[in-house]
Structure 1
């Protein structure tokens, strides 16, 4: 028997087909409609239904390209299962390069949303009802926030065996156990029974090729692990470094920052990471690691003030803390 069509919004996608659609969000004062762009790849064969999303924060472009490349490599005639892709969730923020919505709300603190709430709440509700409730697994693609760049990494609930297995399949350089935040997509989706991986890589409003490539290959590995596609690699990738704790080293003075620490670098407690200098080149303060671990994030700001986050270090452990 042929597989049933996949229904979403006003359309039905036949098995073995792909289709784009637009879910209405709001109307601008100009009269132009703002829609949520969705692309469905409905495989000919049975399998899981998962979603891919990017640009929940409107200044994060890496994930949009990851989604594009992943979809370009899929054939609905051989895909086992269904993929619902939303490459730009925060459409209004993305158009202006803003992390937030026009009312300054953070969309990733507005889930599960409400059909009668704020603009952020309405977008969140639309995403939950039309996308998340149809899926069992989601991959949420992000980058570092303003003037920060991140090593490719997965953040997830590593205490859940099923979620951890997916994180291991993604095989990013690092995977971090991340607590769930109320209002986040990951929290709201988990409450509805979905397993979610949050991918972080690169810098906001940049198209870092290495971050895109790691994201594309990682998503392809997850699809293969779920049995939706055939593996794309002949040899298994190296395992991710596992971290149960992480923290930012903060500047202990104000000055021009010269960082020596690089993403992915292993550091020891007390190791020199860089220095702060005044405008004449006099060194004001050195920056040292406050823990041993791997550098998973760093600021790209040339000027920092006392207390600013400078280097993100993830402690690498084999077992969760007692």
Structure 2
């Protein structure tokens, strides 16, 4: 099997796990979101530490925390991913999974906007059009429902900022994520201690709940590892298109499995978002093809120059 095919399968696997994760967290609806997040952080650290120990890379964690600037970036990234995880878990528990799926549809468009504002990246007409359609979709929901889709906006913005911060970290994905969840681990352990000291802790009250809380660690870690594997073997444009499997599955979980309302305002907003996604993906694929043609042409010119005879005349 080719590396590209393995990468695509890994990406599909990662997005499928993410997309179906609402079904998992719905089974923990009786556990408060802060307690779920505390266990998710704890068991993720244990899982990632096991992976790094198996790879004999635990020493890289100490190196990662050297330098005030890098520690600051890790802390900010940790804050963004913690907010993202918490709001996602909360959205499932309060019956707003549809809004969460919308947030992950908006996320790539928000990333483009953050790139323009943060790194001065230039946007084409298609990208601006996709961003504008996403803005109109948010406005439609705000007018129709009488309140802004804050879950969608927080999820999209926190994940986009998280991605931008990660660009400044010269760390491998497993080491990076382990450092991010390690930095706030003491806080979550104190919170878990408080839950159990006050008799409100759910771990140990039933084998199924305890098992689900433990499994939240591997459920967090596995798609990140698969995504990392895919990103090294698949073109970024392909990764960008495949990642929409995640919010699509989340949408089906919300509407079909959870029976959440899908009003006319939702239909209009999602229609606009799906149109924006189509425009954005088409533009990304077109840019990727253009870049590959330019690269192929450059290689061809280089080969001609290399193979040219010393007297400067072209070969027949």
Give the alignment's TM-score, normalised by structure 1: 0.27
Instruction: Choose 1 or 2 for highest CA Rg.
Output: 2
Whose strand fraction is larger, Structure 1's or Structure 2's? 1
